[in-house]
Amino acid sequence: MAQNIVEKILKDHLKAGEYVIGKEIGIRIDQTLTQDATGTMAFLQFEALGLDKVKTDLSLSYVDHNTVQIGFENNDDHAYLQSVTQKFGVVHSRAGNGICHQVHLERFGKPGTTLLGSDSHTTTGGGIGQLAIGAGGLDIAVAMGGGNFYTLCPKVYKVNLTGQLRPWVTAKDIVLKMLSILSTKGNVGVILEYGGEGVKTLSVPQRATIANMGAEMGVTTSIFPSDENTRRFLKAQQRESDWIGLEADPRAEYERVLDIDLAQLDPLAACPHSPGNIKTVKELAGLKVDQVCIGSCTNSSYRDMTAVGEILDGSVVQRGISLGIAPGSRQVLQMITRNGALLKMINAGARILESACGFCIGNHFSPGSHGISLRTSNRNFEGRSGTQTAEIYLVSPEIAALSAISGRVTSPEDTHMPYPAVAEPEAFTIDDSLFIFPFETDKDIPILRGPNIGAPPKNDPLPPHIAGEVMLKLGDNITTDHIMPAGPRLKYRSNIETYARYVFEHMDAGFSQRCLINKKAQRHNILVAGESYGQGSSREHAAMCPMYLGVKMVLVKSIERIHAANLVNFGILPLVFNDPGDYDRITAGDFLEVNAARTALESPDSICVVNKTQNFTMEASCQISHRQRKILLAGGLLNHTRLQ
Ligand code: MIC
Ligand code: SF4
């Protein structure tokens, strides 16, 4: 039977379940990646599983998120990761080597294989024809131990690209166009497979930009064929032997087909405060800008950076604008040093930032109050930049660079500058000296645990009855950045007791205190929210810290894939209203009850929730698999795995 690319890879990796769309399947994972902000917990949990070595073909640990190092905490994390990875047979990419997704694409991504990463933008690997999925750290720990990864057998949408991009229209605009079609919600259980003649006009880094921001649509991942462009990229990375050809069979079937004519696209921008809020750059032209940030795992390749250098060449950044540029990897930085693009940036007055996540995660470079910041990254959630009142617009590197010179959002029609077409290099600079490759003899290496390294928190099995107060009633599109802020709090990722103080920090400063008081008095805490709860990051801390605070249940209109899995992994009951109208009948502070919660899970489509305060009942469902039900009953995946 004719197969699409997704089917080919999934069937080749199928370990549990049947290949039936919408049903849960377990797949073998060939490669894993972790980064420092989620990796410390992933490895602490791996240690708790009691295994002596990772069982994947290749596991990577990157240090790229917490490199600001104000105080001892980040450095403690790096030292822990360097030692723990050597002990367990994991390759470690040291701080300074670059952003995990960019570096992984350059040096390790392999077409036709599976990659699971504790970061939602692991999907970037789809650009090289890898089935690359983001998940919570505990899922990665299990996969590193050789366990299957469980996910819904996906609905596959084909994105049929035709034509060719016009000058100044970029890969970023293709994915922003996709966001304008599919939006940021309602795409749970979907994989996007790109195909059509237009694909041939896109290089691997351009495809990676598109696959990267699939995460913003909430799809499981996106994937491109592996073709001659892929082979050329791998050859230029001295990895041609990693290439295999991969394409859909001619009559492969898809759940849906979306057609995009590349020649019809315009430069686009995602406006505050959602990656799905799309306008054309032309519509925004003239808007005064305060800051421009170029980089992040979406747009920091050699090609992007060289184009930026060309645009900035001979100009100086407009007064009043701060331009920060973070090349995506040490390889990119080395190459733009050699080709002169870096000097052009420096001459233009750009502030050259470390090859790391930096501004993207609000680690530094926060805009001023009410500042307007143009960024090439993938998320513009309110407050994520570190400034609650800032307004972030997401654009291509080319538009960002043009606007940094003029001080206003600039549409290419308003300049006479020729478009800087940059060719992919024949050979990338290969220097793997910042990777630490483990040796057999590293088994006895001591693990370094500074005071910032805590332990994974423990949880009890799911209680027989859940009864508690609605501690917070939230609206639609609550992101994991709302739940568990990053920025200056990132350094507490390895220390749950401290990090938990900041849950919902910017929405309700007293939240964690109130929860802890209830927990002490043995009362449960409950959260109520609207559509698309838990969008964004894969950070399992957005479930782990609420668990630590005694949150036992969330009741929402809909929930995003990674966060839903994380809630189950940490023993929190995820319930979805059967009638979304019931959401309006609940007030914060109401007392809710689910009687006989453990047995109620046996009829997961109609679980009765009683509102004791207002005296009415509602029905909700718990859309999880049989396997997940056991995890939930055990109080989370760690307990469940130990029981087994
Ligand atoms: C993000 O972009 O939000 C992050 C920071 O990379 C997260 C991971 C994290 O929270 O550590 C992600 O995308 O999963
Ligand atoms: Fe890092 Fe930003 Fe990419 Fe997340 S989205 S991995 S914070 S660069």
List, in sequence order, the alpha helices (H) in 454-533.
480-483, 496-499, 511-520
Q: What is the mean pLDDT of residues 105-132?
A: 98
For residue 91, the model assigns a pLDDT of 98
CB distance 567 to ligand 2 below 6 Å: no
CB distance 296 to ligand 2 below 6 Å: yes
In this predicted structure, the answer to whether residue 443 has a pLDDT above a threshold of 90 is no
In this predicted structure, the answer to whether residue 410 has a pLDDT above a threshold of 80 is yes
pLDDT digits (tens, 9 = 90+) for 564-593: 999 999 999 999 999 999 999 999 999 999
pLDDT digits (tens, 9 = 90+) for 66-86: 999 999 999 999 999 999 999
Question: In which band, very low, low, confident or very high, does the pLDDT at 440 lie, cut at 50, 70 and 90?
Answer: confident
For residue 441, the model assigns a pLDDT of 76
Between CA 199 and CA 580 the distance in angstroms is: 40
| Ligand at shortest distance from the CA of 537 | 1
CB distance 66 to ligand 2 below 6 Å: no
State which of 67, 99, 489, 562 you would mutate to test the pocket of ligand 2, scoring each by most atoms of that ligand within 8 A of its C-beta: 99
CB distance 360 to ligand 2 below 6 Å: yes
pLDDT digits (tens, 9 = 90+) for 322-366: 999 999 999 999 999 999 999 999 999 999 999 999 999 999 999
For residue 227, the model assigns a pLDDT of 98
Between CA 333 and CA 341 the distance in angstroms is: 10
Q: What is the mean pLDDT of residues 605-624?
A: 97
For residue 642, the model assigns a pLDDT of 83
In this predicted structure, the answer to whether residue 434 has a pLDDT above a threshold of 90 is yes
CB distance 357 to ligand 2 below 6 Å: yes
For residue 32, the model assigns a pLDDT of 98
What is the average pLDDT value for the chain, to the nearest integer?
A: 97
The b/e string for 147-181 (b: 16+ C-beta within 10 A; e otherwise) is bbbbbbbbbbbbbbbeeebeebbbbbbbbbbbbee
For residue 150, the model assigns a pLDDT of 98
Q: Whose CA is nearest to atom 1 of ligand 1?
A: 537
Q: What percent of the chain has pLDDT over 90?
A: 98
452, 492, 545 from 74: Cα distances, Å: 8, 8, 19
In this predicted structure, the answer to whether residue 318 has a pLDDT above a threshold of 90 is yes
Q: Whose CA is nearest to atom 2 of ligand 2?
A: 360
CB distance 119 to ligand 2 below 6 Å: yes
CA neighbor of 547 nearest in space, from 462, 618, 448, 435: 462
For residue 355, the model assigns a pLDDT of 98
In this predicted structure, the answer to whether residue 442 has a pLDDT above a threshold of 90 is no
What is the number of the ligand 1 atom nearest to the C-alpha of 562?
14
In this predicted structure, the answer to whether residue 137 has a pLDDT above a threshold of 80 is yes
CB 71 within 8 Å of CB 523: no
Q: What is the chain's length?
A: 644
For residue 33, the model assigns a pLDDT of 98
